[in-house]
Structure 1
Amino acid sequence: MAKTKDLNTEKLEYDFQQFYQKLEDFNYDLKEFIHGSLKASENQGLLDKGYYKADEILDEIYIEIYENYSLISDISEFQRLLFRAGINKLETIKSQEVPDDITYHSLLKAELKALNEKFTTAGDGDRIMLEELDDISYVQNRGWLENIYLYEPLERQLVSTLCLDEAALLSDEKRKLLWVLYSTIPEKSKTVVELLVFGKQNLKTIAEILDVPQDFVDKIIFKVKERFRLV
């Protein structure tokens, strides 16, 4: 009996070792995705700063995935499951409740329309969203609330990954506009951006993780880049 218990313990330890070896390929990117998403949400005022930790969320994800580890057939499926679990955890944290009968396909299709913002030109030649003309902060000499910025490392990742003009980081006004433009991206589309920018996933993999056609992901990234050209 004791021998059987020892064998079971050894098998469990071996399974854990195999599990964590597979994790090594995705652990960093998954952690960066979760960390970046949390930081961005904190700086948008959606989450209390420092309350949630990427490491703690990762531990929960690993426990959940390990329970079904034996059913995972290949490394690509393992990657998709990890990132889907991360997205689900973040959505729960942000209290984003989506009905079960609504798919990412339909959500992203609706959000493509939301990304089609209307623009106009201000007196000084700057392009602005039409909606801003009715905003009190814009009317009052384009005044902004104090200290509205994204986390600086996140700003640099956005600028680099989306091939934006680095001048977006040179002035307070442009950094605040960057925050406004990022904050107003629809939530599901923002997940696509965060998988690309923070999670370092390519567009094909993002489509697989979200189980949507790559064409949708391509269009969202294109429209997001168009939005950021305002900076």
Structure 2
Amino acid sequence: METAMSDIKIIMKETYSKLVTFKRKENRESFNKELLKVLPQIYRYVSKRLNSAVANGKLNKGMFNPSDFTDQLFIEVYDNIDDIKSENELHVFLFKKVDELLEDSLVEEEFDHVFFDNIDTYSKPEWDAMEENYTQDGDGDFLLLEELDDSSLDKTNYTLNHVFITDEEKKLADKLDASLDKERIYNHIQLVLDKMNLPMRTVFELFTNEGLTTEEIADIRKTTLDQVEELLASARLLLKNSFEKRFLIDSN
């Protein structure tokens, strides 16, 4: 995961420099081809947002396609590249703009209190049924465009290290890691994320999947750093509790 993030930063730096040059030369065609190199990451993020909305019944299948949102970025970046001063600013700008477009189109999702209020009572078969329903109804409906690199849809992005961060928690993670494969970990995390409200889930995904700092996320989400850190901590706690209740308690 760290290698992937490093690769993204290198590509973003190279792309930013070229975008500035192409804009200066008013070479729109080369500008768009260069921007396309960094869009798989953004397209994946939009896909996850749309998949979650479908899984939660907030969006009908086929109503939107990720390209409905990412295509607008070619215009937004071209018009604003002169005001974007670094590759880090470009990275944040892309997420901020696509987030604005998503917010205008998607209904705000409520916190699924029923799910979390009853997390202690779910049996193993109930957990398995919820996971099966999730993978059938929501996950994987939206894929990258053919010209984009589909490796950016790697389902192993989520790891236990994103949830269990203290030394004591890592002991629990070791127990889970011994019994769960990466696909199972991903499916469980995504299932629980889709039961969270939109701000909490988005903060967690931007921090873990996209490698953005809490300061950058606060900028993207137009909120305070304290709020971002609180949402991130709450998301981790809910995920940690869900893993414990589902996989580490003998009664389940």
TM-score by length of 2: 0.56
Amino acid of the structure 2 residue aligned with 1:17: S
Which of these two proteins has the greater Rg computed from alpha carbons? 1
Unaligned runs of 5+ in 1: 1-9, 98-110, 119-127
Corresponding residue to 2:54 among 30, 42, 61: 42
Mapped pair 1:65 → 2:50:
no
Cα shift readout 1:90-111 (whole Å, capped 9, x = no counterpart): 22221349xxxxxxxxxxxxx9
Corresponding residue to 2:216 among 170, 190, 205: 205
Matching residue of 2:117:
130
**Partner SS state of residue 67, structure 1:** helix
**Partner SS state of residue 133, structure 2:** coil
Matching residue of 1:14:
27
Whole-angstrom distance in 2 between the partners of 1:71 and 1:171: 41
**Partner SS state of residue 60, structure 2:** coil
Amino acid of the structure 2 residue aligned with 1:75: E
Unaligned runs of 5+ in 2: 1-22, 141-152, 165-175, 244-252
> Once structures 1 and 2 are overlaid, which stretch shifts more, 78-87 or 25-34?
25-34
> 1:19 and 1:69, CA in 2 relative to 1: closer, same or farther beyond 3 A?
farther
**Partner SS state of residue 84, structure 1:** helix
Contact preservation (8 Å) 2:203, 2:228: yes
Matching residue of 1:162:
162
1:224, CA displacement in angstroms? 0.9
Contact preservation (8 Å) 2:207, 2:217: yes
Q: Could you say what the CA RMSD is over the residues aligned between the two structures, in angstroms?
A: 4.3
Length, aligned pairs only: 191
Contact preservation (8 Å) 1:30, 1:83: yes
1:40, CA displacement in angstroms? 2.4
> 1:214 and 1:26, CA in 2 relative to 1: closer, same or farther beyond 3 A?
farther
TM-score by length of 1: 0.60
**Partner SS state of residue 68, structure 1:** helix
> 1:85 and 1:168, CA in 2 relative to 1: closer, same or farther beyond 3 A?
farther
Instruction: Give identity over the alignment, percent.
Output: 17
Mapped pair 1:78 → 2:90:
yes
1:191, CA displacement in angstroms? 1.7
Contact preservation (8 Å) 2:155, 2:183: no
Larger helix proportion, structure 1 or 2?
2
